[in-house]
Each structure stands twice: as C-alpha cells, then as structure tokens.
A and B are shown apart, each in its own frame.
Chain A
C-alpha cells in the first residue's frame, strides 16, 4: 500500500535551518511529482513547493522562494525539503503529497496520497 512518512520536524530558532524528509513506499516513486503543503496551527492549507518526477522542474510559493529547496532521491524513494533562514511564520505541520499528474499545472487531479505530517516550530 502507498505510504508517505515525513520526518525531520522539530523546534528551531529563527534564522536557522532544518531539513525535512518524506520516505515513500508502495508505489513507483520515480514516476510521480511530489508536493509539500503546510498548515500553520489552527489555519488552512498552504501549498509550498513541487518537484517533477525526475527532479528537473521545481516551483515554489513566493513566501518560501529563495529560502526553501525541494529535492528528491529516486534511488532512495525519498523527498526532501531544505528550509533555510526560518521565520516564525514558517511554523506549521508540513505534509508531503503525491501528485498523479505528469503535467503539474494545469492539472485535473488532486493529491491522492498524503503523509501524516511533521511539525516544524520556529521559536527562540
């Protein structure tokens, strides 16, 4: 069965860095684009970034552009999110999500599988 398991969250001081991982299993990871979506405490969902199935294309929300970097290792079935220069407003649960579309935008389908999320707290 499809599984996405995030890890790497925790408490970090403003300005510091953190790297999240998302371990995928139960499907051919290298065939799917992958997204990170976050949710601040008590708030709605915010799309963060996406990477194409082969890592050749990446897109970011303006709120994280220049600070966050998405990457993947298809040999390890793992997705990453490198978060630098963290701010208090980056505090959120971070979810990885699978995208069944080859073309990410425009795309008819939504994210068919999500991880359970990992909490990142940016605080001094």
Chain B
C-alpha cells in the first residue's frame, strides 16, 4: 500500500500569507496525485489533479507541483475561505489512498 505523509499536520497562518503544504509518497506515484479541500460539515472539493492541474472553477491562487514521491500544494495568498483541511490522494496503484490531512487554521 502506498502511504501518503502530509506535513505539517497544522499550519497556522494569517489571511494574505502564503501556505505551502507537503505530501510525500512512500513510493513513486508519477503524477497521479490529487488535492482536495474540506471544510467542516462539507464534502471534499477537488482542487488539483494530475499533480499540477487546477480543477474547474478553482482560483489561480491554488497551485500544485511535484512528481514521483514529493508534492506541494501552494496557496499564494490566503483568503478567509481557504481555512480548511487539505488532503492529497494517489491514484497510481491499488488501494487508493489519502494522506492524513493538513489543517490550515487562522493564526
């Protein structure tokens, strides 16, 4: 099973600051990685697919990078609505797995 390790577990930042979230895979997943955002009481929302492609309707302040085992989700300037939990997911091999999540909270 491919294990995805997200870091940090919690990121405390202020609106307007830059957020950098990491997702590290236990073995190469190529570019078969997606990022999701989840707010309390809501279903996850797809942000990034294929490691670096923004999903439909996702603002340009969200960007993804990386390949192989190391991936990054960057939010260039945090808006109030961006404070949430973020998950990465690999779709390279069975079973499909998610990282444990990074919570971006208001400092």
Q: Mark the stretch among A10-18, A67-75, A82-90, A108-116 that contacts chain B.
A: A108-116
Residues of A within 8 A of B31 (CB): 108
A74 to B70, CA, bound (A): 39
Contacts of B38 in A (CB 8 A): 45
Chain A interface helix/strand/loop/mixed:
loop
Q: A44-B100, A114-B43 are in contact. Are A109 and B34 (CB under 8 A)?
A: yes
Range for the number of chain A residues in contact with chain B? 20 to 34
A116 touches B43 (CB 8 A): yes
Q: Quick check: which of B10-18, B19-27, B88-96 contacts chain A, the rest being far away?
A: B88-96
Which chain B residues lie closer than 8 Å to A35 at the CB level?
96
Nearest B residue (CB) for A63:
B95
Whether A80 sits at the interface, judged by CB under 8 Å, is no
User: Nearest chain-A residue to B89 (Cβ)?
Assistant: A110
Expressed in whole angstroms, the Cα–Cα distance for A77 and B34 within the complex equals: 26
Most chain B CB within 10 A, of A44, A110, A116, A117, is at: A110
Q: How far is the CA of A106 from the CA of B95 in the complex (A)?
A: 11
- State whether A114 and B49 are in contact (beta carbons under 8 Å apart), knowing that A45-B87, A47-B96, A105-B96 are contacts in the complex: no
Q: How far is the CA of A59 from the CA of B91 in the complex (A)?
A: 13
Cα of A12 to Cα of B101 in the assembled complex, Å: 29
Instruction: Decide yes or no: A110 and B91 within 8 Å by CB, A115-B43, A116-B43, A117-B43 being known contacts.
Output: yes
Question: Shortest distance in angstroms between B33's beta carbon and chain A's nearest beta carbon?
Answer: 9
Is A112's CB under 8 angstroms from B43's CB? no
A61 to B1, CA, bound (A): 10
Give every chain B residue within 8 A of A107 (Cβ-Cβ): 32, 91
Q: Check A29 for interface membership: any CB of B closer than 8 A.
A: no
Contact among A61, A101, A112, A116 with B46 in the assembled complex (CB-CB below 8 Å): A112
- Residue B50 interfacial (CB < 8 Å): yes
Contact (Cβ within 8 A) A105 B92: yes
9 A-B interface contacts by CB (under 8 A): A44-B87, A45-B89, A105-B93, A106-B32, A108-B31, A110-B48, A110-B55, A111-B36, A115-B43
